[in-house]
């Protein structure tokens, strides 16, 4: 069946009143859940799954709901990231970098609008790519071997250097701390426990969500509490609305970010958090003239676009080959199984109404999200009218409730608090927290793949440069490191250490 006619059949499924209503409910709920710190899409999808059965929804309807929840959450999470500097989900950390300065400059509504548009561009482009190229893309992703992943991670670390901003030593301290935290738990390659100190709770490692909440929500609130005591809390006024010129200005960044986000989303293992980080750091490398981190629209559009492109793309290997590319798609795969649909290469031919109905619903859902979100940005921005002494404790309580709801463990709350206090101290001494979190995310991928590569080659390092893809990525990594020097040479002077 040709993709276009198949998509048309998909629309026939997706446009039935029930499925339209369910898609709307899914994306609206997703936006709300994304806005709550601590409860990520993976838990939301898992918690809603039993409800689908209780309501006796047909499988395609249930999947439309769950998928809407998943990609809808990419729209909702930006609210607290931009307005309050509190990312509730690891994929949204980069959003704070330029989003919060924009909000502080009184342009919170404009920042929310551009991130909504970015999410739409990323999400919709990814669905289009998925419609026409799902199977070949998924196959291509599987050919990506351990050596290619290692080179990709090295490139990511090289781009992390762009976060330095004249304090390279502090950035590397942050990276080292992130790597250290990532070591905690059972080592996959040998089954040996590392840094668990005999604690069963630490066997599984430090939870991603707890780390994000601790590093950002708890620490931010501690800093603010200190500011309230000393009377210096920044407030937001009403700045200029988003102009068409600004959207055009962000377009190239969004398209680049779509590419990066889609690519990293299709690859099993790398998800939205790696995608948004790479999109931001790459965009900064390409277009920064000293404005990134101070409220550059492109620095906000890039990670938001990549986040949504990656979320959608991570469904490609699941739908095309039955192989989950991320935690959330693994849960969705579980949903397929509960409906006794065998996910796999035959899904498109055996159950076209499910596969194509889902894809068609994603076009509709993204449009709904844009229409739903744009008029509301002003309303969201008014969140800041809530007095800080209600708002911040409220956010903190929600974050802790989110962490506890998922883990049912008081230990997770202690970890979150401890990380928050440490993060507060780190902020006080000027160590940036974002490189710490990114290093944590990348470390696991780097180490696992490095060890897989070396066990394939029996310890020989030549395997790391053995594929064309890996060589291209190594060259890009070298370029990312050399770029500032090249730029400086063009301007006819040597770089000073603070600029590296």
Under the rule (CB under 8 A), what is the footprint of another protein?
Answer: 42-43, 45-47, 49-50, 53, 141-146, 186-191, 200-201, 203-204, 268-269, 317, 321-324, 327, 330-331, 333-334, 337-338, 340, 342-347, 406-409, 448, 451-452, 455-456, 458
Helix (H, G, I), strand (E, B) or coil at 299: helix
> For 55-162, where are the alpha helices, taking DSSP H only?
59-76, 78-84, 95-104, 108-142, 146-160
Determine the Cα–Cα distance for residues 218 and 399; give it in Å rounded to an integer. Answer: 9
Which lies closer to another protein via its Cβ, residue 71 or residue 120?
Answer: 71
CB of 245 to another protein, least distance (A): 44
Which lies closer to another protein via its Cβ, residue 242 or residue 446?
Answer: 446
Determine the Cα–Cα distance for residues 344 and 328; give it in Å rounded to an integer. Answer: 17
CB of 193 to another protein, least distance (A): 8
CB of 455 to another protein, least distance (A): 6
Torsion 121-127-130-132 (CA) sign? negative
Which lies closer to another protein via its Cβ, residue 303 or residue 402?
Answer: 402
Give 296's DSSP letter: -
Which lies closer to another protein via its Cβ, residue 334 or residue 484?
Answer: 334
Determine the Cα–Cα distance for residues 376 and 355; give it in Å rounded to an integer. Answer: 32
Q: Are 70 and 310 in contact (CB under 8 A)?
A: no
CB of 335 to another protein, least distance (A): 8
CB of 333 to another protein, least distance (A): 7
Max Cα separation, the chain?
A: 69
CB of 325 to another protein, least distance (A): 8
Tokens of 216: 């950002």
Cα distances (angstroms) measured from residue 239 to each of 65, 110, 234, 243, 298: 36, 8, 15, 12, 18
Which lies closer to another protein via its Cβ, residue 348 or residue 474?
Answer: 348
Determine the Cα–Cα distance for residues 41 and 285; give it in Å rounded to an integer. Answer: 30
Which lies closer to another protein via its Cβ, residue 171 or residue 470?
Answer: 470
Which lies closer to another protein via its Cβ, residue 56 or residue 248?
Answer: 56
- Which residues of 372-496 form beta strands (DSSP E)? none
CB of 13 to another protein, least distance (A): 21
Radius of gyration of the chain (CA): 22
Which lies closer to another protein via its Cβ, residue 236 or residue 407?
Answer: 407
Which lies closer to another protein via its Cβ, residue 200 or residue 429?
Answer: 200
How many C-beta atoms surround the C-beta of residue 20 within 10 A? Answer: 16
CB of 57 to another protein, least distance (A): 14
CB of 463 to another protein, least distance (A): 11
Determine the Cα–Cα distance for residues 87 and 97; give it in Å rounded to an integer. Answer: 10
State residue 193 phi and psi, 5-degree precision: -85, 135
Burial label, 11 (beta-carbon count in 10 A; 0-12, 13-18, 19+):
middle
Q: Which residue has the tokens 């994603």?
A: 362
Which lies closer to another protein via its Cβ, residue 322 or residue 352?
Answer: 322
Residues sharing a CB contact under 8 Å with residue 400, sequence separation 6 or more, in sequence order: 38, 213, 413, 416
CB of 362 to another protein, least distance (A): 21
């Amino acid at each position: 069946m040709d993709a276009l006619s198949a998509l048309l059949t998909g629309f026939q499924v997706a446009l039935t009143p029930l499925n339209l209503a369910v898609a709307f409910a899914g994306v609206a709920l997703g936006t709300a859940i994304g806005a709550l710190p601590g409860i990520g899409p993976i838990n939301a999808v898992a918690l809603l799954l039993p409800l689908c059965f209780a309501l006796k929804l047909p499988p395609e309807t249930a999947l439309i709901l769950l998928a809407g929840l998943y990609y809808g959450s990419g729209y909702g999470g930006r609210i607290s990231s931009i307005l309050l500097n509190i990312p509730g989900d690891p994929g949204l950390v980069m959003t704070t970098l330029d989003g919060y300065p924009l909000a502080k400059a009184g342009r919170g509504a404009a920042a929310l609008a551009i991130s909504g548009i970015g999410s739409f561009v990323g999400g919709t482009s990814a669905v289009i790519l998925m419609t026409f190229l799902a199977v070949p893309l998924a196959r291509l992703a599987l050919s990506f071997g351990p050596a290619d992943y290692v080179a990709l991670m090295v490139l990511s670390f090289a781009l992390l250097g762009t976060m330095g901003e004249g304090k390279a030593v502090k950035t590397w301290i942050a990276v080292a701390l992130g790597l250290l935290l990532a070591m905690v738990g059972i080592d996959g390659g040998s089954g040996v426990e590392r840094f668990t100190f005999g604690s069963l709770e630490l066997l599984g490692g430090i939870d991603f969500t707890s780390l994000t909440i601790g590093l950002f929500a708890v620490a931010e609130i501690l800093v603010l509490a200190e500011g309230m005591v000393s009377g210096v809390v920044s407030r937001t006024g009403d700045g200029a609305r988003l102009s068409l010129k600004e959207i055009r200005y962000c377009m190239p960044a969004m398209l680049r970010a779509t590419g990066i986000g889609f690519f990293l989303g299709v690859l099993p293992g790398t998800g939205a958090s790696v995608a948004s980080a790479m999109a931001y750091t790459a965009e900064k490398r390409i277009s920064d003239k000293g404005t990134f981190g101070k409220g550059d629209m492109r620095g906000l559009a890039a990670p938001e676009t990549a986040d949504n492109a990656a979320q959608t793309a991570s469904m490609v290997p699941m739908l095309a080959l039955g192989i989950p590319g991320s935690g959330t798609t693994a849960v969705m795969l579980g949903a397929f199984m509960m409906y006794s649909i065998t996910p796999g290469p035959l899904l498109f031919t055996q159950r076209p109404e499910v596969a194509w109905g889902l894809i068609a619903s994603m076009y509709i859902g993204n449009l709904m999200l844009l229409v739903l979100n744009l008029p509301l940005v002003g309303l969201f921005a008014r969140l800041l009218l809530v007095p800080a002494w209600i708002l911040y404790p409220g956010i903190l309580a929600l974050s802790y409730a989110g962490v506890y709801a998922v883990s049912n463990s008081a230990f997770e709350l202690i970890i979150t608090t401890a990380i928050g206090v440490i993060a507060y101290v780190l902020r006080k001494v000027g160590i940036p927290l974002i490189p710490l979190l990114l290093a944590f995310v990348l470390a696991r991928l780097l180490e696992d793949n490095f060890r897989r590569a070396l066990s394939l080659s029996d310890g020989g390092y030549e395997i790391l440069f053995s594929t064309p893809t890996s060589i291209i990525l190594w060259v890009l990594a070298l370029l990312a490191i050399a770029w500032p020097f090249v730029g400086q040479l063009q301007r006819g002077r040597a770089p000073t250490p603070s600029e590296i």
